[in-house]
Amino acid sequence: SALKLAQQLITTTPEFNSNNLARKTGNKRVPTTPDPAAPVPYKAIVVLSLDGGLDSFNVLTPHTTCPLYRSYAQERDDVKLELDEMLEIDASSSENQPCTSFGVHHRLPIFRDLYNSGEGIFFCKHWSLGQTCDEAQ
């Protein structure tokens, strides 16, 4: 059965297996020294998958100055962000963008600040695919 196969696969993983016997010796452990700091600043990609009330269209939207705002507003209707609910970010230096500015939800100024300082970036239209897609998609 599929359950039995899944159980067999789990038991073969290194996280599940332990080949060493752990025995109490009464000896104190020798503390390990931490690794030295890296010579370059640490960078990481943090992906926030937002859905529900804080989905992507309530975080980053076309600004009212963008031609796409009308379509966005029509689609989102009562839950769209209005001008006074947006913190504007300049996207004029981005390539292949239909908008030169976007709006970040006014309650998320840290997102705008990270973007403006060059420490943050928005990846739009990324999600876990629920179905197969082709090259055109």
Give the per-residue pLDDT at 106.
Answer: 95
Q: Which residues contact 79 (CB under 8 A, 6 or more apart)?
A: 58
The angle at the Cα of 127, spanning 121 to 130, to the nearest 5 degrees, equals 175
Please report, rounded to a whole number, the percentage of residues in the chain having pLDDT higher than 70.
79
Res 129 pLDDT > 50: no
Backbone φ and ψ for 62, nearest 5 degrees, come out as: -60, 135
Task: Dump pLDDT digits (tens) for 7-36.
Answer: 888 777 766 666 666 677 888 888 888 888
Please report, rounded to a whole number, the percentage of residues in the chain having pLDDT higher than 90.
23
Res 137 pLDDT > 70: no
